[in-house]
């Protein structure tokens, strides 16, 4: 295998496939639109092909026995250098330390062989799922020696379905859509739809504690993992299929969120669900962003467990749902495979109205299993269309504008002051560096004890500015404010290399010591995803 002809190539510079890339003309039009909106000149420069890149020659070659699945071509090495942050790097052909080898193991034996080779030789190993990281979780450190990226894309099958227990054994490298395609004929769904759904994998979701599309109750991948299988340099970590257990600290929970520092996740038994057929949604308008908090909090604390409970600030409500730019929008949705959600939406609407929300009758929709479209019209419908797969940034891909996202979680008591501080810190840098810009927020997930706010920012750096440095300055200011305000450095984007300084502040020091000791034991050569989560000393 010298290439992977059976797989559609993914884009080197945007999320999605090469075949999804806009034409040069489309990019030029988009740049003109952005210029008008942002009041600054935005361009759509030439984009290099993989073959045009001047990559450092590989420093190592795989042993002959591994050559069948270990590739070294330009596309593989360039593609696997980045996650979703690939855009600006590719625009300026910035590939300082691409992987020397990209392995695509097809079996346990092939995976074990490549991991043994790397551990014995001290080559860095970077596990690579869908490559949807926005925090440099798969980027080789600039100073890293020989690098072997292990892509899991050949491990993409649903191997077994236990319909009685509603669980499935699934290989870790399967992308979201392909996973759902394999469950659908059996009437099931994993019902895990992170915003990166089309470009991320089961293994990546587990390694990064992915948050699903659903806003309350079981939405994090953590809750769906029944058992997991991971190969560490010292052997297989395989847990039992158990609905629940109280036997010591949960061994799954040390794998979930481990971001490749212990090993490569190869498969998991996942809790699956019957496909929903009953749905109900409503959209509530609030006079201000602040006015929406109370309804949101009361609905989640009433434990109705809506599948959707998203509060959008006025600007997002405008850009995503066609609203007037002054009102905030709270979208509430329920779904079930078994039961009408009419009573739930009625209750949620009552709570929202009592808390000051205005809900138009045509923004309440109930589908009692008839298949009638629900929440696909009005503000809710407009928002839904905009959600997947719009992804990070603010639609600035392929232009000289910049956009990005960051997210956190915070308890309700701290929330309003926290929001003000985080926005002020972020807009402050945008003003200083870009002469202005936008910062917006929505709740992606809501807990009884607090929301998970998700921020987007956009701006246009001055001509000749170091775009990465602009991103970093914005991110630094936002992250400092998040830490100072008591939040988490990431609610579901994971730590990667970008969040390390703040992650180190957030976690308890004894936990860092425990993690370091565990890694030293399981990965004695310290080859697994170096620079992520912990350092050797």
Q: Which of residues 186-215 bind a copy of itself (CB under 8 A)?
A: 208-211
Nearest to a copy of itself of 77, 442 (CB atom) = 442
Collapsing DSSP to helix, strand or coil, 235 comes out as strand
Asked if 41 and 35 count as a contact pair (C-beta separation under 8 A), the reply is yes
Of positions 256, 329, 402, 434, contacts a copy of itself by CB under 8 A? 256
CA 453 vs CA 137, 154, 438: distances in Å:
22, 35, 16
Asked if 163 and 186 count as a contact pair (C-beta separation under 8 A), the reply is yes
Q: Is 172 in the site for a copy of itself (CB under 8 A)?
A: no
Of positions 10, 423, 445, 475, contacts a copy of itself by CB under 8 A? 445
Nearest to a copy of itself of 8, 517 (CB atom) = 517
Q: Is 507 in the site for a copy of itself (CB under 8 A)?
A: yes
Q: Is 520 in the site for a copy of itself (CB under 8 A)?
A: yes
Collapsing DSSP to helix, strand or coil, 534 comes out as coil
Nearest to a copy of itself of 58, 251 (CB atom) = 251
CA 334 vs CA 114, 346, 374: distances in Å:
46, 11, 10
Alpha helices by DSSP H, listed for 122-260, are 176-183, 202-207, 251-255
**Which letter does DSSP use for residue 220 in this model?**
B
Of positions 19, 23, 46, 164, contacts a copy of itself by CB under 8 A? 164
Query: What are phi and psi for residue 422, nearest 5 degrees?
Result: -70, -45
Nearest to a copy of itself of 413, 466 (CB atom) = 413
Of positions 31, 345, 409, 441, contacts a copy of itself by CB under 8 A? 409
Which residues, numbered 30-49, are part of the site for a copy of itself (CB under 8 A)?
A: none
Of positions 283, 493, 497, 530, contacts a copy of itself by CB under 8 A? 493
Which residues, numbered 456-485, are part of the site for a copy of itself (CB under 8 A)?
A: none
Please give the size of the binding site for a copy of itself, defined by CB under 8 A.
97
Question: CA nearest 392: which of 317, 332, 471?
Answer: 471
Query: What are phi and psi for residue 452, nearest 5 degrees?
Result: -110, 95
Q: Is 517 in the site for a copy of itself (CB under 8 A)?
A: yes
Q: Is 353 in the site for a copy of itself (CB under 8 A)?
A: no
What is the torsional sign of CA 104, 111, 222, 164? positive
Q: Which stretch binds a copy of itself (CB under 8 A): 45-53, 331-339, 364-372, 471-479?
A: 331-339
Nearest to a copy of itself of 230, 402 (CB atom) = 230
Of positions 72, 182, 400, 494, contacts a copy of itself by CB under 8 A? 494
Site string for a copy of itself, 236-255 (x = CB under 8 A): xxxxxxxxxxxxxxxx-xxx
Which residues, numbered 100-139, are part of the site for a copy of itself (CB under 8 A)?
A: none
Query: What are phi and psi for residue 90, nearest 5 degrees?
Result: -70, -35
Q: Is 490 in the site for a copy of itself (CB under 8 A)?
A: yes
Which residues, numbered 273-312, are part of the site for a copy of itself (CB under 8 A)?
A: 273-274, 297, 301-305
Q: Is 157 in the site for a copy of itself (CB under 8 A)?
A: no
Q: Is 235 in the site for a copy of itself (CB under 8 A)?
A: yes
Q: Is 262 in the site for a copy of itself (CB under 8 A)?
A: yes
- Residue 176 C-beta: closest distance to a copy of itself, Å: 17
Q: Is 181 in the site for a copy of itself (CB under 8 A)?
A: no
CA 50 vs CA 19, 69, 80, 90, 312: distances in Å:
15, 20, 12, 10, 39
Asked if 205 and 194 count as a contact pair (C-beta separation under 8 A), the reply is yes
Own/partner pairs, 481-486, CB within 8 angstroms, 24+ separation:
481/421, 481/422, 481/424, 481/425, 481/426, 482/406, 482/408, 482/422, 484/421, 485/410, 485/414, 485/417, 485/418, 485/421, 485/422, 486/410, 486/411, 486/414, 486/418
Q: Give the separation between CA 357 and CA 331, rounded to whole angstroms.
A: 11
Q: Which stretch binds a copy of itself (CB under 8 A): 315-323, 353-361, 375-383, 410-418?
A: 410-418
Site string for a copy of itself, 47-86 (x = CB under 8 A): ----------------------------------------
Question: CA nearest 180: which of 213, 137, 140, 143?
Answer: 213
Nearest to a copy of itself of 316, 489 (CB atom) = 489
- Residue 383 C-beta: closest distance to a copy of itself, Å: 22
HEC states along 424-459? HHHHHHHHHHHCCCEEEEEEEEEECCEEEEEEEEEE
Q: Give the separation between CA 58 and CA 74, rounded to whole angstroms.
A: 10
Nearest to a copy of itself of 245, 377 (CB atom) = 245
- Residue 351 C-beta: closest distance to a copy of itself, Å: 8
What is the torsional sign of CA 391, 436, 319, 399? negative
Query: Residue 162 pairs with which residues in a beta bridge?
Result: 167
- Residue 96 C-beta: closest distance to a copy of itself, Å: 26
Nearest to a copy of itself of 377, 511 (CB atom) = 511
Q: Go through the chain and tell me how many residues it has.
A: 537
Q: Is 486 in the site for a copy of itself (CB under 8 A)?
A: yes
């Amino acid at each position: 295998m010298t290439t992977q002809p059976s797989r559609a190539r993914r884009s080197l510079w945007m999320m999605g496939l090469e075949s999804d890339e806009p034409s040069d003309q489309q990019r030029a039009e988009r740049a003109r639109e952005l210029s008008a909106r942002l009041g600054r000149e935005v361009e759509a420069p030439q984009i290099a092909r993989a073959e045009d890149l001047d990559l450092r020659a590989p420093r190592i070659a795989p042993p002959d026995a591994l050559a069948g699945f270990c590739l070294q071509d330009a596309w593989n090495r360039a593609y696997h250098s980045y996650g979703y942050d690939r855009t600006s790097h590719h625009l300026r052909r910035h590939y300082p330390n691409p992987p020397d080898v990209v392995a695509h193991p097809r079996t346990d034996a092939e995976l074990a062989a490549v991991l043994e080779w790397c551990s014995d030789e001290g080559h860095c190993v970077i596990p690579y799922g869908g490559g949807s990281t926005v925090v440099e979780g798969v980027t080789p450190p600039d100073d890293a020696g020989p690098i072997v990226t292990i892509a899991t894309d050949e491990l993409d099958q649903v191997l077994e379905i236990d319909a009685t227990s509603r669980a499935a054994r699934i290989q870790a490298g399967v992308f979201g859509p392909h996973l759902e395609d394999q469950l659908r004929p059996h009437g099931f769904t994993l019902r895990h739809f992170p915003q990166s759904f089309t470009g991320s994998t089961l293994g990546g979701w587990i390694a990064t504690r992915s948050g699903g599309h659903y806003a309350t109750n079981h939405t994090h991948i953590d809750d769906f993992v029944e058992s997991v299988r991971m190969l560490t340099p010292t052997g297989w970590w395989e847990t039992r299929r158990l609905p629940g257990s109280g036997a010591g600290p949960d061994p799954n929970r040390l794998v979930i969120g481990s971001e490749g520092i212990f090993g490569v996740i190869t498969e998991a038994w996942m809790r699956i669900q019957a496909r929903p057929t009953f749905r109900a949604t409503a959209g509530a308008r609030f006079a201000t962003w602040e006015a929406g908090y109370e309804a949101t909090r009361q609905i989640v604390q009433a434990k109705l467990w809506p599948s959707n409970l998203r509060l959008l600030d006025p600007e997002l409500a405008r850009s995503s749902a066609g609203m007037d730019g002054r009102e905030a929008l709270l979208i509430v949705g329920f779904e079930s495979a078994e039961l009408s959600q009419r009573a739930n939406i009625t209750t949620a609407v009552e709570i929202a109205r009592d808390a000051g929300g205005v809900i138009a009758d045509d923004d309440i929709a109930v589908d009692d299993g008839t298949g009638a479209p629900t929440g696909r019209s009005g503000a809710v419908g407009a928002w839904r269309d905009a959600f997947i797969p719009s992804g990070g940034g603010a639609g600035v891909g392929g232009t000289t504008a910049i956009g990005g996202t960051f997210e956190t979680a915070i308890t309700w008591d701290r929330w309003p002051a926290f929001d003000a501080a985080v926005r002020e810190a972020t807009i402050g840098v945008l003003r200083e560096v870009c002469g202005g810009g936008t910062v917006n927020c929505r709740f992606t997930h809501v807990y009884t004890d607090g929301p998970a706010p998700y921020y987007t920012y956009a701006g246009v750096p001055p001509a000749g500015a170091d775009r990465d440095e602009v991103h970093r300055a914005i991110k630094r200011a936002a992250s400092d404010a998040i830490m100072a305000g008591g939040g988490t450095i990431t609610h579901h984007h994971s730590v990667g290399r970008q969040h390390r300084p703040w992650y180190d502040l957030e976690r308890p020091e004894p936990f860092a010591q425990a993690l370091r000791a565990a890694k030293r034991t399981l990965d004695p050569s310290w080859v697994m995803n170096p620079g992520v989560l912990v350092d050797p000393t």
